[in-house]
Amino acid sequence: MAGVTVARPPLPAVLALPGKAFATLTRWPVLPLGVLTLLVATAIFAPLLAPHDPLRASLAKRNIPPAWTAKGTWEHPLGTDPVGRDILSRLIFGARVSLLVVGISLATGLLVGTGLGLIAGYFGGIVDEVISRVVDIWLALPFIVVALAAVIVFGQSFGIMVGLLALLAWAPFVRNVRAEVMVLKSRDYVAMAKVAGASTLRILVRHILPGVINTVIVIATLRVGQLILFEAILSFLGAGIPPPTPAWGVMVADGRNYVHDAWWVSFFPGMAIFLVVMSLNFLGDWIRDRFDPRLRQV
Amino acid sequence: MGRKRAVFVILGAVIAATVVVLGCRPAAPPTPTPAPAPPPLAVVATPTPTPAPAPTPPPVTVPTGVLTVAVPTVNVPAGTPRFCSAGCAENVYMVSAFETLFRPASGDILGEKPEVPLLAESWALDSAYPPRWLDFRLRRGIPFHRGYGEMTAEDVAFSFNDANSRTTPESIHGQAGDFYPLIEKVEALDKYTARLWYVQYDSRGLRHRFSLFWQTAGITSKKVFDELGPERMRTVFIGTGPFMITEYTQNKGIFLEAVDNHWRKTPAFRTVRILEVPEAATRRAMALTGEADIVVPALKDVPDLVRAGLKSVETGNYAQMIIFFTGNYWEKKHVLTGEPLDRKLDLTKPWVSPNPEDDPERAERARKIRWALALAIDREGLNKAILQGLGRPTYIGYVSIAHKEFQERWKVPFDPARARQMLREAGGWPAGVNMEMHCWTPAVWSELCEAIANVWLTELGVKTDIEKVAYTVYRPGLVRRTTSKPIIFPGDDGHSGFPYRWAKGFTNSSISSGGFGVGMEIPKMSELYLKTAVELDPVKQKQYVDEFHDYSHYWMLQPGTVEFPYILVYNPRRIASWDLLPTTNSNLGGLNNLESIVPVR
Amino acid sequence: MGRFLLRRLGFMVLALIGATLLVFFVSRVGGRDPRYLYAQEGGYGLSPAMWEELGRRLHLDKPLVVQYLMWLRDVARGDLGESLTDRRPVRDKLGERIPNTVRLALGAWLFATLMGVPLGVLSAVKRGTIWDYLGRAFAMMGQAAPPFWVGLMAIFLFSVKWRLLPTGTMGEGLAIRNYIMPSITLGWLAAAGYLRLTRSAMLEVLDAEFIKLARAKGVSEPLVIWKHAFRNALIPPLTLSALILAGFLAGAVVVETVFSWPGVGRLAYEAVMGDDYALITGCVLVFTAGYLVLNFLTDIAYAYIDPRVRLG
């Protein structure tokens, strides 16, 4: 009869296994957490893990391919770069650099953004208008072009990179925290606190802030991946942390002219960026789904 | 339902529009002003006997076929000399569309033979001392492209005056600034004699500013300028060369067409396409597949290409990568005008010396530090590893081991032990200060920089901050004489092809103040430059230059690292022979004399 | 609706002014005098007379604010100044390159639409199966993979190793082969966005009452999917298109650099590296204006579709 789905013959149980494994893997963020734990561990224990000094170059050892290829050696498991530095060691220390840069800039952006969002949402009126307009204008700017121009003017350094990424990070916090605050401030317990004579600061910190934390966490995890990606892009374009500090984006750029005969120079750092960002995005989605599905957009 | 249909209609329309837009041909590039069909060229037999050998009547050939060349960059074009900036200025004669007054003799990289007359057939120098003028007597009966008439002294005068920033202040011609201190103006004495009035005579002579060997002004037609004005002349390229430019588009290419019955040499190929292909890997692929007949390869690809059966040829010039220890501003007064100079000596930088006359002890300390850094450079190793052994080591800037006049005593060995000792003698590297270096970004230089920085770190314990960002941001520091950050690049004079006796040190001196410099102003170098520039006796010239290099060697202000050649690669199955003339220009890989190519038929 | 759109228009103008103001002042920070960039190789450089003249021509003798206002006035007249590198009008240089970026963006959009939307539908319809997970994996990868790395690896595989596609540039005429890798590299992120949006929209729709009604009436499954569900699910991704195109502008800088594409993204990159502040400002203007116009179109689209906005 129409409308009744005819039952399909059951598949052999074995074929269902990948699907089941997949289902399990996608319900719990096992892989992403694994990758991220590995990342943090690598960053912390970098000096112990790296087989060589990431800064030590040797003219005689340029462009050695990975260990499993014909001309490779296990002394340099992932090969060497055009200046003769061990790629695995640079990858490991690069993790440290990436985490530091992203961590600091995220923290800064988070603090500033949340603060502004609280103010805008709570006080409303002209303050809100001004802050919101500034955020909108900021988001309209072509960030990459402006970032490059800023590096040209202010120079290349670790601090500049952190500053730029913080500028990238702050805007989403403002918007979402503001929206959240506007909902929260009309709640009963806030009204009661006002009646009881609590100061504005006290209300903000003790009553509103806790309600906002969820949102902040979700936004943070959703944005970390983007920050890592941007750091890599800026480094690739030549505006990143200056050499010889190993940064993954710079490592990909180093291999750009050797795509033909030394593909590994670009491949491994790019792969690292890819895996980390993917894990972060996955984790971010999962956290959002768990804690605040309202934030679901794409 | 209507709205949903609308949505579909919009979507469909957008996709259709996409396909249409993608299918549109890009706008046709600006074509040169359509000219009347050129009148049949009258081959004028030169009636007057000339001191230079008359050109052998070109064999009657009909050009056929297409030659394809792949180069990394094609710069911004302009047909008007005043707009033809660096890159364009040399390209026009390197591709043989314009011609120059003189050209080098085949294979004469060391400049031992006199320049061969080209558009000029002879020259004469004022007998006064120092000479005030230089006359060029021009060849007769040389036609411009597209019927713009015969080349005369008026055209030569125009070509130089329009390019010279002294006579045309708004000129951005590649040599605008170089002509300024040299040429007052060029005037036509009569139809075939052009007189150049010197601001300051320069003994570097014809090879320096009037030959294809280095940077000069290609000769174009004044009539075009009169007819079209400077703006419209931008897209019209009228020269006297064996090839005509049919299209010249930045980031795309230069397209040439052979001139039939050329006065000097009719090319064998009808069309030449010089394409911009920025990626070295692509150029390499094009060479191997035969898609391009000539390519400018990355240095590291040359051995592979030669192994694959391609032929390599070089211009003979090697560009020197010199470390300029900027910040050494020793001059207090402008050498020519006597005006006091306002320079800040940043003595916190260990490589910066005060003027040795002011503070000999401190100057000596910095000298030892510079020596230590220079001793810790493995030039042979760098050459082998980074230049595939195709380059040569360079010890001090502006002189090459290829020069016959090179002295053994100028060699700087790779001696880390001695370097460490000198560092100790100087009191050690000061704590809290890092070495700094500005590097050019193209791949090979960036590796060179990092390799050198690495040796300094491992052998001397000195950490280097490498800056790779935008040379154009660093450069004003050189111009203003405010930078103390060393840079590694050839500078203006770091070319092995420059004859040994040429006056050196213009950019190491306050003479060039207000313009480009290499970040140092050294009184002795100023003095020697000025003496050599007006010296007519070659023996004395050599003496001064020897003194210059001894001084530079002692104070180690600009140690060399390696010098690298300009190599072109061509397909021997299409090209039988090519007389690539010696040149110090690096544009388009140094290619020139395309009309001499003999094809395999 | 008119008032709403007017407000958005006003905001656009404000944003443009804000953006250019920022870039204008950043380029003058630290007393950077653009005249030093005019000093050429060789010679004595600019004579004091020329220095003054250049200063007057570039209005450097006036206070910064006045300089900015004069620049605004020039822009309103269509004059974006001269590029430092070759003294050609910035407007001309931009005009040459914008069509190339537009082409690239359209290529990427085609890829994103043709891959993202059908895969999104598939993912929704076959929810929970391997197809769903493959689709979502494709989306995840697109959102995580660094575009420059994808581009380089693609060049390595398809150009260098297998010699299937050219390594870069736009080619002559309409060289489809040259469009393939850049479009995919640029469009992958957008495809991911389309996929996820279409998927969630489809899922919502498939649950809707009228679908259940159609099924109960006996309409065949394919018809249910394509005729009824799909059309409704298409609306959110469509309205997102403008924003996606705006996102391409940013991505273009990287993709054009990797593939040597002669577009406005690469022009901006070269301008920054060459410290050509006139060109930089012009590029920022173009990028911001493009972004704002596309945002504006999105607002119109939303207003049209959502009556609440229209009347509000």
Contact call for residues B546 and B293 (beta carbons, < 8 A): no
DSSP string, B469-508: S-HHHHHHHHHTT-----EEE-TTT-BTTS-TTS---GGG
Neighbours of B482 (CB within 10 A): 17
| Ranges B156-165, B170-179, C182-191: which has the least confidence | B170-179
Neighbours of B395 (CB within 10 A): 22
Q: Which amino acid is at B175?
A: Q
Residue of A56, A59, A80 to mutate for B, most B C-beta atoms under 10 A: A59
Write the pLDDT tens digit of every residue in B477-486. Answer: 888 899 999 9
Q: List chain C residues with CB under 8 Å of B176.
A: 40, 43
CB-CB under 8 Å, C45 with B27 = no
Residue of B nearest to A240 (CA): B469
Q: Looking at CA atoms only, how far is residue A35 from chain C in angstroms?
A: 14
Write the pLDDT tens digit of every residue in C235-266. Answer: 777 777 777 887 787 788 889 888 878 888 88
Domains and CATH numbers, chain A: 31-49+62-291 (1.10.3720.10)
CA B309 to chain CA centroid, Å, is 30
Nearest to A257 among B443, B465, B470 (CB): B443
CB-CB under 8 Å, C87 with B282 = no
CB-CB under 8 Å, B468 with A84 = no
Q: Which of residues 233-262 of A touch C (CB under 8 A)?
A: 233, 236-238, 249, 252-253, 255-256, 259-260
Q: C37 and chain B: CB distance < 8 Å anywhere?
A: yes
Q: How far is CA B548 from CA B33, B504, B558, in A?
A: 51, 8, 12
Neighbours of C65 (CB within 10 A): 10
| A71, two tokens | 């001309």
Contact call for residues B179 and B160 (beta carbons, < 8 A): yes
CB-CB under 8 Å, A83 with B454 = yes
Closest CA to A39 of A277, A221, A235, A270: A277
Print pLDDT tens along chain A (298 aa): 444 555 555 555 555 566 666 566 656 778 788 888 888 888 888 888 888 888 887 777 888 888 888 888 888 888 888 888 899 999 999 998 888 888 999 999 999 999 888 888 888 888 888 888 888 888 878 788 788 878 877 777 888 889 989 988 898 888 888 888 888 877 777 778 878 877 777 777 777 888 788 778 878 887 888 888 888 888 888 778 877 788 888 888 888 778 777 888 989 999 999 988 888 888 877 777 776 666 554 3
Q: Looking at CA atoms only, how far is residue C297 from chain B in angstroms?
A: 13
Q: Which amino acid is at B21?
A: V
Residue carrying the six token digits 């990159």: C269
Q: What is the pLDDT of residue B547?
A: 96
CB-CB under 8 Å, C145 with A259 = no
Query: Three-class SS string for B118-186?
Result: CCEEEEEECCCCCCCEEEEEECCCCECHHHCCECCHHHHHHHHHHHCCCCCCCCCCCCHHHHCCCEEEE
Q: Which residues contact C219 (CB under 8 A, 6 or more apart)?
A: C228
Q: What is the pTM of this model?
A: 0.81
Maximum mean pLDDT: which of A166-175, B9-18, B35-44, B127-136: B127-136
CB-CB under 8 Å, B457 with A55 = yes
Q: What is the mean pLDDT of residues B141-154?
A: 94
Closest CA to C13 of C289, C213, C237: C289
Write the pLDDT tens digit of every residue in C83-121. Answer: 776 777 888 888 888 888 988 998 999 999 898 888 888
Q: Half-sphere exposure of residue A291, counting CA atoms within 13 Å on the CB side?
A: 17
Q: Half-sphere exposure of residue A268, counting CA atoms within 13 Å on the CB side?
A: 22
What is the rounded CA–CA span in Å between residue B353 and residue B350?
A: 8
Contact call for residues B203 and B544 (beta carbons, < 8 A): no
Q: How far is CA B268 from CA A204, B261, B376, in A?
A: 84, 11, 51
Residues across chain A: 298
Q: What is the mean pLDDT of residues C123-152?
A: 85
| B289, two tokens | 């597949």
Contact call for residues B84 and B101 (beta carbons, < 8 A): no
Q: Which of residues 149-188 of A touch C (CB under 8 A)?
A: 149-150, 152-154
Residue of B233, B249, B282, B478 to mutate for C, most C C-beta atoms under 10 A: B282
* pLDDT of C159 higher than 50: yes
Q: How far is CA B470 from CA A39, A83, A246, in A?
A: 33, 22, 20
Q: What is the mean pLDDT of residues B198-215?
A: 92
Write the ipTM. Answer: 0.77
Q: What is the pLDDT of residue C305?
A: 66
Q: Which chains touch A (3 or more CB pairs under 8 A)?
A: B, C
Give the residues across from B436 on adjacent strands. B465
Q: What is the pLDDT of residue B423?
A: 93
Q: How far is CA B397 from CA B390, B400, B410, C43, C117, in A?
A: 19, 8, 10, 20, 62
Residue carrying the six token digits 């000025």: B530
Residue of C50, C86, C245, C261 to mutate for B, most B C-beta atoms under 10 A: C86
Q: What angle do CA B407, B411, B414 make, to 5 degrees?
A: 170
What is the rounded CA–CA span in Å between residue B244 and residue B246?
A: 6
Q: What is the share, in percent, of chain B residues with pLDDT greater than 70? A: 89
| B128, two tokens | 């006064």
Q: Which residues contact A63 (CB under 8 A, 6 or more apart)?
A: A79, A80, A81, A82, A258, A261, A262, A265
| C216, two tokens | 């109960």
What is the rounded CA–CA span in Å between residue B240 and residue B228?
A: 19
Closest CA to A265 of B454, C153, B381: C153
What is the rounded CA–CA span in Å between residue C144 and residue A208?
A: 34
Helix-strand-coil split of chain C, %, nearest 5: 80, 0, 20
Closest CA to B270 of B281, B285, B257, B289: B257
Contact call for residues B312 and B305 (beta carbons, < 8 A): yes
* pLDDT of B563 higher than 70: yes
Write the pLDDT tens digit of every residue in B171-199. Answer: 888 888 889 889 999 999 999 999 999 99
What is the rounded CA–CA span in Å between residue B129 and residue B106?
A: 32
- SS3 for C102? helix
Nearest to A146 among C23, C136, C140 (CB): C23
Write the pLDDT tens digit of every residue in B258-267. Answer: 999 999 999 9
Give the residues across from A80 on adjacent strands. A86
Write the pLDDT tens digit of every residue in C49-77. Answer: 777 777 777 777 778 788 888 888 888 88
Q: List chain A residues with CB under 8 Å of C218.
A: 2-3
Tell me which DSSP letter residue B53 carries.
Answer: P
Nearest to A59 among B378, B466, B467 (CB): B378
Nearest 5°: phi and psi at C297? -60, -40
What is the rounded CA–CA span in Å between residue B411 and residue B325?
A: 18
Residue B127: which pLDDT band, with cuts at 50, 70 and 90?
very high
CB-CB under 8 Å, C27 with A137 = no
Nearest to A83 among B378, B447, B469 (CB): B447
Closest CA to C263 of C197, C183, C201, C198: C183
Contact call for residues B82 and B170 (beta carbons, < 8 A): yes
DSSP string, B228-239: HHHHHHTT----
Q: What is the pLDDT of residue B11?
A: 54
Nearest 5°: phi and psi at B71? -125, 160
| B267, two tokens | 């090319």
Q: Is B256 or A139 the better-scoring residue by pLDDT?
A: B256
Q: What is the pLDDT of residue C286?
A: 84
Neighbours of C223 (CB within 10 A): 11
CB-CB under 8 Å, A143 with C215 = no
Write the pLDDT tens digit of every residue in B78-111. Answer: 999 998 988 899 999 999 999 999 999 998 988 8
Contact call for residues A223 and A141 (beta carbons, < 8 A): no
Give the residues across from B312 on adjacent strands. B569
- SS3 for A16? helix
